[in-house]
Amino acid sequence: MEDVLGNSPFLANSFPLESVFDSSCEGDKFPLGFMELLGAQDFTSPHNPLFHIPQQVPSFVTDVPPMKIESPDTFNLPATPNSSSISSASSDAVNDEAVKVDDQEEDQQKNKKQLKPKKTNQKRQREPRFAFMTKSEVDHLEDGYRWRKYGQKAVKNSPFPRSYYRCTSTSCNVKKRVERSFTDPSIVVTTYEGQHTHPSPLLPRPSLGGSHLSSGMATGAAFGMPMQRAQTHYFHHHHHHLHHQQHPFRNTFSPLGHNGPSINAGTGFLHERRLCTSAGESFLTDHGLLQDILPSHMVKEE
């Protein structure tokens, strides 16, 4: 299940600031990790009626390289993890680099030989990915969908493992991975890959068209990224028993695809902020949004 960082012996301040969560670039030539861009859009801006979370300032970041997610230096967090709310991560730092997601991934390879000979031509293409950084005590945030964990791996320079989840809906191939930031254990990085092809199983009712949805929402929805919503009580709402370490409340995310009724009410997160990274040429191409926002050099190809 979720790992709690409690077991890590490290202190935040002992981490090198430069490497963030995943400096997988170690072998690589990437000077920096991701990128972040930000500032550009705050769909969940504070003044947006929908989201009135004071501290939360999500930023949209960029693109995630196909294999590695690097982290941003974005957060140049003070050595003290908990200390100030992290500054706006996004806006100040503009280092980003996006790696283009390879477009043609058509491999004509055959299936795997041993493990899975059964399935024939299934090419695994990478879909756009979106990463969110959320300041949270819990690793796995509720987002309204059901996920099945299918793997966990140690992250290279991090004491925290990365967990891999797949949407349990059949025919929905959305995947997500969750890991804690190496530099700031209070931050959880959630990366979504693909878009749900079905409504959230946990949403009580989509109800009317969200007339009040703002453009911000639309933007988020367009990318299929989850937005934070209030803690609507889900009917499920089972309280997970657990670790005394965790908070009583949990985050809720809602990835609504269209109109989501939700708004974030900030259940109780005093500080929760997140950054988003999105990748995907598809949306780049299609919408051109990133291009608009991102500096051209941001998209780099390797």
Binding site for DNA (CB under 7 A): 1, 22, 24, 26-28, 67-69, 107, 109, 111-116, 118, 124, 146-156, 162-165, 168, 175, 177, 302
Q: Cβ of residue 150: shortest distance to DNA, in angstroms?
A: 4
Q: Cβ of residue 214: shortest distance to DNA, in angstroms?
A: 33
- What element of type H or E holds 180? strand 175-180
φ/ψ of 212, rounded to 5, equals -85, 5
Q: CA-CA distance, 202 to 231, in Å (whole number)?
A: 12
* Token pair belonging to 54: 């004071």
* Residue 153 or 212 with smaller CB distance to DNA: 153
Q: Cβ of residue 40: shortest distance to DNA, in angstroms?
A: 25
* Residue 190 or 264 with smaller CB distance to DNA: 190
Question: Any idea which residue has 């972040």 for tokens?
Answer: 36
Beta-carbon contacts of 58 under 8 Å, excluding residues fewer than 6 positions away, are 42, 43, 44, 132, 228, 273, 274, 275, 276
Q: Cβ of residue 198: shortest distance to DNA, in angstroms?
A: 14
DSSP class per residue in 77-119 = --S-SSSSPP--HHHH-----EEPPPS---------SSS--SS
Radius of gyration of the chain (CA): 18
Q: Cβ of residue 2: shortest distance to DNA, in angstroms?
A: 7
Q: In this structure, is the dihedral angle defined by the CA atoms of residues 270, 181, 168 and 259, taken in order, positive or negative?
A: positive
* Residue 21 or 51 with smaller CB distance to DNA: 21
Neighbours of 286 (CB within 10 A): 11
Nearest to 228 by CA among 158, 293, 133: 133
Beta-carbon contacts of 295 under 8 Å, excluding residues fewer than 6 positions away, are 94
Q: Cβ of residue 71: shortest distance to DNA, in angstroms?
A: 11
* Residue 28 or 92 with smaller CB distance to DNA: 28
Q: Cβ of residue 99: shortest distance to DNA, in angstroms?
A: 10
Q: Cβ of residue 116: shortest distance to DNA, in angstroms?
A: 4
* Residue 149 or 258 with smaller CB distance to DNA: 149
Beta-carbon contacts of 215 under 8 Å, excluding residues fewer than 6 positions away, are 43
